[in-house]
Amino acid sequence: MNLKYVAVLVCTALLAGCGSGSKPTGLVMFTVNGYNVTLAEFNEGFDRSDYADREDIDQARAEYAEKLINQKLILLDAQKKGLDQDKEFLKSIEHLWEQSLSTMAVGRKLREIDSGLTLSEQEIRRFYENMVKSGITTKSYEDVYPQIKAQAQKQMESRLLDEWIKSLRSGATIDINKNLLKMKP
């Protein structure tokens, strides 16, 4: 991925994370050097934090606000110093972006697979019989039915996910320099 493109994404994300300096959408919780953090942004972050689990909710919210203000000050200082343009930083953001996007894509594909996946009793029974033949279980079908059904479903999900990846590969142009694969760093 082009590092300049990643830099634009990172800057946009950092500025979005700091709130918008001009037109907040919603009640402004606090402002840090011209960057607004709305109540909705604050609440979303607070609810995902460990602070939300505390008994002393008012104190927890105050401490979370202080932590968030400090975090915004550090981010603004880092931007002012140009650290958001550092090649090492941009590479780590690119890697994080790729991993996150890949995780999201696989998650969506699994939900798509799960929504359309139904195993017949015959398929579950066949899976059980293969386990018995392989010596994996000696218990009766009825005793292990819930586990067998779950395992059969996971195996089917895995197979369908593999088929999806194979279809992606079959529609792609992939060139591998096999000589470079043999080289040691």
Q: Mean pLDDT for each 10-residue chunk of the chain (185 residues)? A: 51 48 74 94 95 95 96 94 94 96 96 91 92 92 92 93 96 91 82
What residue ranges do the domains of the chain occupy?
3-85, 105-173
Q: pTM of the prediction?
A: 0.62
Cα–Cα distance between 98 and 111 in angstroms, integer?
A: 20
pLDDT at 180: 87
Burial zone of 99 (CB within 10 Å; 0-12 exposed, 13-18 middle, 19+ buried):
exposed
Q: Where are the alpha helices (DSSP H) in 18-140?
A: 39-48, 57-80, 87-116, 121-133
pLDDT at 1: 54
pLDDT at 26: 86
Contact residues for 26 (Cβ-Cβ < 8 A; gap 6+): 38, 39, 40, 41
Secondary structure (3-state) at 30: strand
